[in-house]
């Protein structure tokens, strides 16, 4: 098929208490995130013994994809590399080169466009290839999949299951949440000629598709886990504030679907299962958090389908009218200036 491997490219997370601060420093290097925010987030990790579930979940998802590849008779070894923590993508790519890989597909663990969700993975690819230098494997990134029917149906079933846990109350409110980003980053998301806001538009579209499939007429789209200095505007409302607002409107039960994420990483198990759930409990509201799609068998099918679609040059199976995006070679952006990193405030006055 012209490819020697699949590189599973993810965010990374610490796997012990001593790894938390070095990990956080990698994530926030040069990004103007205040020290206080870093220390606060470090606390969240320390509640779990300094271990984020993200690496374990990626390894489990990779095992499922390996099984699916074998079942479909596709011979493609899968390698795991991260942006911010071990196994670091630079190291993985060096090993791939040593093993004779010349050309690999890349599956990034984000379904969406935007700087943090798409373009930054292109930068990771570029950085890793530069680090490996001469003879670095060519890397072809697979497309964004927020509107793929397998993604949508896996999330929709998880939302249905969460409603069932609350006893299928007709008044239960469905709330979709995704990682907030600076308003400036969302404005810059997508090809410059197409008006920006591609990240928030795709989140809204995925929520619409999931709600339609789950038969939910009314729902909200909100944001979580904002970072950065307080004076910089990020996408709002925040999930926790939104729970207050729902309570004030008399809503008594809520289902929260982390549609912006593929797995239960730390921002899901802390910011939702802890902070948002506690706020709901404080108001006496019933609360259920819908599962993320990575543990659904359809997720492995989705990954293999994206691979086949690419190598067989088959038409993209998708439910939205947004153009196919994200599939580029060796870290090139989708278009000149696409999802350009937003200008970030300097951490210190210049």
Ligand X SMILES: CC1=C(CCC(=O)O)c2cc3nc(cc4[nH]c(cc5[nH]c(cc1n2)c(C)c5CCC(=O)O)c(CCC(=O)O)c4C)C(CCC(=O)O)=C3C
Residue 251: how many other CB atoms lie within 10 Å: 18
Closest CA to 139 of 151, 127, 155, 153: 127
Closest separation in Å from C-beta 57 to ligand X: 9
Region binding ligand X by CB under 6 A among candidate stretches 20-28, 138-146, 161-169, 294-302: 20-28
- Tell me the C-alpha distance between 318 and 332, whole Å: 23
Q: Is 110 assigned a ligand-binding role in the annotation?
A: no
Q: Which of 9, 266, 272, 277 is the binder for ligand X (CB under 6 A)? A: 266
- Site residues for ligand X, 294-333, by CB under 6 A, read none
Is position 119 an interface residue for ligand X (rule: CB under 6 A)?
A: no
Bridge-partner residues for 140, per DSSP? 105, 329
Closest CA to 95 of 56, 60, 63, 135: 135
Residue whose CB is less far from ligand X, 6 or 251: 6
Q: Which of 117, 140, 150, 210 is the binder for ligand X (CB under 6 A)? A: 117
Phi (first) and psi of residue 211, to 5 degrees: -60, -45
Closest CA to 264 of 287, 235, 295, 285: 295
Region binding ligand X by CB under 6 A among candidate stretches 26-34, 136-144, 156-164, 201-209: 26-34
* Token code pair at residue 35: 């020290």
Q: Which of 260, 293, 326, 331 is the binder for ligand X (CB under 6 A)? A: 260
Is position 211 an interface residue for ligand X (rule: CB under 6 A)?
A: no
Q: Which of 15, 147, 205, 267 is the binder for ligand X (CB under 6 A)? A: 267
Closest separation in Å from C-beta 113 to ligand X: 10
DSSP-derived secondary structure for 171-226: TPEEEEEEE--BHHHHHT-S-GGGTS-HHHHHHHHHHHHHHHHHT---EEEEEE--
Q: Can you say which residues are annotated as belonging to the binding site?
A: 52, 121, 179, 267
Residues that bind ligand X in the complex, under the rule CB under 6 A: 11, 13, 24, 27-28, 31, 33, 37, 41, 52, 54, 109-110, 116-117, 179, 181, 225, 227-228, 260-261, 265-267
Q: Can you say which residues are annotated as belonging to the binding site for Fe-coproporphyrin III?
A: 52, 121
């Amino acid at each position: 098929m012209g490819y020697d491997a699949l590189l599973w490219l993810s965010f990374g997370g610490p796997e012990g208490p001593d790894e938390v601060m070095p990990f956080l420093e990698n994530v926030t290097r040069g990004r103007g995130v205040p020290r206080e925010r870093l220390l606060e987030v470090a606390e969240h990790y320390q509640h779990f013994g300094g271990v984020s579930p993200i690496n374990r979940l990626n390894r489990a998802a990779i095992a499922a994809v390996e099984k699916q590849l074998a079942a479909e008779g596709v011979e493609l070894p899968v390698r795991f590399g991260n942006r911010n923590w071990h196994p670091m993508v630079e190291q993985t790519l060096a090993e791939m080169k040593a093993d004779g890989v010349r050309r690999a597909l890349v599956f990034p663990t984000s379904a969406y466009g935007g700087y943090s969700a798409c373009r930054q993975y292109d930068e990771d690819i570029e950085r890793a290839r530069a680090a490996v230098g001469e003879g670095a494997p060519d890397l072809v990134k697979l497309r964004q999949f927020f509107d793929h029917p397998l993604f949508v149906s896996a999330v929709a079933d998880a939302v249905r299951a969460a409603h069932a846990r609350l006893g299928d109350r007709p008044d239960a409110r469905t709330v979709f949440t995704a990682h907030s980003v600076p308003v400036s980053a969302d404005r810059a998301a997508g090809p410059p000629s197409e008006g920006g806001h591609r990240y928030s538009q795709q989140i809204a579209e995925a929520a619409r598709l999931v709600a339609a499939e789950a038969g939910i007429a009314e729902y909200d789209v909100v944001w979580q886990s904002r970072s950065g200095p307080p004076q910089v505007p990020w996408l709002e409302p925040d999930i926790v504030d939104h729970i207050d607002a729902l309570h004030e409107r008399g809503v008594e039960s809520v289902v929260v679907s982390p549609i912006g994420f593929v797995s239960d990483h730390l921002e899901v198990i802390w910011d939702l299962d802890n902070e948002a759930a506690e706020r709901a409990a404080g108001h006496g509201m019933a609360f259920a958090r819908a599962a993320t799609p990575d543990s659904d068998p359809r997720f492995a099918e989705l990954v293999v389908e994206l691979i086949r679609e690419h190598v067989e040059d088959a038409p993209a199976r998708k439910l939205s009218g947004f153009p196919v995006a994200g599939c580029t070679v060796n870290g090139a952006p989708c278009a000149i200036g696409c999802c350009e990193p937003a200008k970030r405030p300097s951490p210190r006055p210049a």
